[in-house]
């Protein structure tokens, strides 16, 4: 068996890796990334089963099953799929349960989607906005540049090494780091970093200034200074948490947006905001 | 004017396609689209600034999982282009961008429904033994995505300018000032949407730490990110694993 063992070459694997970028090409509500996954796995299926039409068809169909995950963590699953297909192609009848290829995919896509989203949507992108947007508003090209690097570099590293680790025994690796709690701690640590930055954004990005002086019974009161002496940036914090609690109550973001616009107009008409 | 329209539409469509066939590195955002549109419209600086402002307002609008949020790509490309073309200020741009993004959202939802056809096409062709079916299906879906963004921005740009000028000239002064104010308030909504993604009570203290660092010490966001990274490191090092005790 060793002699005519079917082996994936570096080129085959590279081709799958490059095709993972098109995972969302035909994204749709019903099958989501199914076509993209089939597209990514095509070189491997062709290589391993190219000489048998029936096996070829089954191979393609296996990878046209429903799939949805974060693009950044998908290469890890693709790597595992490649390794399992290679194993299956070389196994004797009955020696390898073929349905396990898809059960592994199905088991991994949910958790890895969550991890990918919280790292890349929730942490790196937020840091990118936090650093990049203020620079862009000041007119510096560094804004979009830093945003770009913050989103591309960490994500590319996770894709590339994820794919490699996935191919070389990814299931065991994942089982190990999730059983000993490393994976969960990493995800939580990313959340901690993201939240510190979000907190910083509240104080730096939401601007509410009240007039410096209003007169009540001939006594001039500087409202903003009074508030600042209690706690600086108190109003931005309150408004942000107001929006947050409305969102939690399932009020749609669009309505809140209109609400804020109307609030801004009323504020100016009444002379409360300036 | 037609060439400018084509270029602006191309920028929107190409940047968007990065999220479909380029791996989705979160680049289809106002902060990237704004400056690029500015470049074609001959005012890079304004595009850069509008891009940054729109990013703050829209940073919470992301299509996680299967949800389709208001169309940030079409909204920011068109609003930036029209603002530069008509000389409108940021407030007016914002007032433009919001309804455009809401309208375009319906088209985006339609496309994600339509593309189900190509997923089925790929399945059927493979069942019939036509191995090219997957490639054709996946790339057809991409083509529809591309065309939908391109056409929306191009048509919007061609008909938009005069309409916008007409509207802008009729907005009363008070409303314009109010819109300016809401531009300062709207980042609160963007941030609140981010909080929805990642805040739970267990970690709330970290949010307040970031807030307090800036509110009391006035440090920059980069500074806050460094403190955040230190917190994350400490958390990782000292949090006991499941079953371990101090």
Domain boundaries, chain B: 2-172
Domain endpoint, select from A77, A107, A137: A107
A198 within a domain of the structure (yes/no): yes
Q: Are A35 and A25 in contact (CB under 8 A)?
A: yes
Q: Give me the pLDDT at residue B164, please.
A: 67
A254 within a domain of the structure (yes/no): yes
Say what the pTM is: 0.86
Higher pLDDT, B165 or A108: A108
Question: Would you state the structure tokens that stand for residue A199, as one six-digit string?
Answer: 């907190």
A253 within a domain of the structure (yes/no): yes
**Backbone torsions φ then ψ of A2, nearest 5 degrees:** -55, -35
Would you call A162 an interface residue with chain B, using a CB distance cutoff of 8 Å?
no
Same domain for A132 and A164, yes or no, is yes
Same domain for A20 and A100, yes or no, is yes
Same domain for A114 and A201, yes or no, is yes
Q: Give me the pLDDT at residue B143, please.
A: 97
Q: Give me the pLDDT at residue B246, please.
A: 46
For residue A48, pLDDT beyond 80: yes
Same domain for A232 and A179, yes or no, is no
Beta carbons within 10 angstroms of residue B208's beta carbon: 15
CB atoms B116 and A28 under 8 Å: yes
Q: Measured between CA atoms, how close is B30 to chain A, in angstroms? A: 9
In a mutagenesis test of the B interface, which of A53, A114, A134, A195 is the best target, namely the one with the most B β-carbons within 10 Å? A195
A216 beta partners: A219
Q: Give me the pLDDT at residue A274, please.
A: 64
A4 within a domain of the structure (yes/no): no
Q: Give me the pLDDT at residue A3, please.
A: 52
Residue A259 to residue A255: CA distance in whole angstroms: 6
Q: For a pLDDT cut of 90, what percent of chain B falls above it?
A: 54
CB atoms A143 and B178 under 8 Å: no
Higher pLDDT, B173 or A80: A80
Name the DSSP letter for residue B129: T
pLDDT tier, A118 (very low <50, low <70, confident <90, very high otherwise): confident
- Give the structural domain span for A189: 109-205
Same domain for A115 and A201, yes or no, is yes
A1 within a domain of the structure (yes/no): no
Q: Are A119 and A187 in contact (CB under 8 A)?
A: yes
Cβ–Cβ pairs < 8 A, chains A and B: 371
Q: What is the ipTM of this complex?
A: 0.86
A2 within a domain of the structure (yes/no): no
Question: Would you state the structure tokens that stand for residue B91, as one six-digit string?
Answer: 């407030």
Same domain for A82 and A156, yes or no, is no
Instruction: Using CB atoms within 10 Å of the CB of residue A213, give its burial: 0 to 12 exposed, 13 to 18 middle, 19+ buried.
Output: exposed
Distance from chain centroid for Cα A268:
39
In a mutagenesis test of the A interface, which of B189, B201, B222 is the best target, namely the one with the most A β-carbons within 10 Å? B189
Same domain for A198 and A116, yes or no, is yes
Q: What share of chain A is helix, strand, coil (3-state, %, to 5)?
A: 70, 5, 25
pLDDT tier, B241 (very low <50, low <70, confident <90, very high otherwise): low
Same domain for A21 and A85, yes or no, is yes
Q: Name the residue among B53, B55, B71 with its Cα closest to residue B63.
A: B71
Same domain for A96 and A19, yes or no, is yes
**Backbone torsions φ then ψ of B21, nearest 5 degrees:** -120, 10
Domain endpoint, select from A81, A107, A133: A107
Q: How many structural domains compose chain A?
A: 3
């Amino acid at each position: 068996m060793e002699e005519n063992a079917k082996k994936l070459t570096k080129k085959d694997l590279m081709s799958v890796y490059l095709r993972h970028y098109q995972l969302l090409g035909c994204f749709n509500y019903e099958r989501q990334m199914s076509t993209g996954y089939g597209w990514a796995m095509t070189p491997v299926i062709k290589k391993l089963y190219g000489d048998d039409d029936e096996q070829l068809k089954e191979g393609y169909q296996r990878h046209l099953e429903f799939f949805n995950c974060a693009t950044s963590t998908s290469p890890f699953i693709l790597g595992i799929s490649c390794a399992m297909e290679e194993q299956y192609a070389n196994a004797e009848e009955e020696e390898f349960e073929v349905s396990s290829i898809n059960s592994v995919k199905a088991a991994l896509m949910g958790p890895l989607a969550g991890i990918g989203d919280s790292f890349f949507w929730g942490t790196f992108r937020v840091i990118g906005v936090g650093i990049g947007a203020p620079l862009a508003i000041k007119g510096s090209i560094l804004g979009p540049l830093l945003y770009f690097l913050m989103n591309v570099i960490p994500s590319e590293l996770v894709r590339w090494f994820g794919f490699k680790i996935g191919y070389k025994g990814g299931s065991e690796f994942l089982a190990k780091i999730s059983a000993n709690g490393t994976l969960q701690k990493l995800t939580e640590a990313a959340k901690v970093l993201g939240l510190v930055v979000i907190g910083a954004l509240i104080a730096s990005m939401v601007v509410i200034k009240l007039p410096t002086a209003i007169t009540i019974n001939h006594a001039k009161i500087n409202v903003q200074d009074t508030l600042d002496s209690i706690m600086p940036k108190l109003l931005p914090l309150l408004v942000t948490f107001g929006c947050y609690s409305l969102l939690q109550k399932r009020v749609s973001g669009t309505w809140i947006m209109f609400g804020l616009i109307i609030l801004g107009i009323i504020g100016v008409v009444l002379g409360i905001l300036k | 004017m037609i060439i400018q329209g084509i270029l602006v539409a191309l920028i929107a469509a190409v940047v968007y396609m990065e999220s479909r066939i380029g791996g989705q590195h979160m680049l289809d955002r106002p902060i990237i689209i704004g400056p690029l549109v500015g470049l074609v419209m001959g005012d890079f600086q304004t595009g850069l600034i509008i891009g940054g402002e729109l990013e703050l307002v829209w940073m919470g609008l992301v299509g996680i999982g299967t949800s389709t949020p208001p169309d940030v790509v079409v909204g920011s490309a068109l609003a930036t282009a029209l603002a530069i073309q008509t000389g409108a200020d940021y407030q007016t741009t914002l007032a433009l961008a919001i309804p455009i993004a809401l309208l375009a959202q319906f088209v985006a939802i339609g496309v994600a429904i339509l593309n189900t056809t190509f997923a089925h096409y790929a399945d059927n062709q493979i069942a019939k033994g036509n191995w090219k079916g997957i490639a054709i299906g996946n790339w057809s879906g991409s083509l529809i995505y591309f065309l939908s963004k391109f056409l929306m921005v191009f048509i919007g740009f061609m008909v938009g300018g005069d309409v916008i000028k007409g509207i802008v000239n009729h907005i009363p002064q008070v409303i314009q000032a109010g819109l300016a104010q809401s531009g300062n308030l709207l980042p609160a909504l963007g941030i609140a949407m981010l909080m929805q993604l990642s805040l739970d009570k267990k970690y709330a203290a970290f949010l307040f730490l970031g807030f307090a660092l800036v509110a009391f010490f006035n440090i920059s966001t980069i500074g806050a990110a460094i403190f955040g990274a230190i917190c994350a490191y400490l958390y990782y090092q000292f949090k006991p694993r499941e079953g371990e005790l101090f």
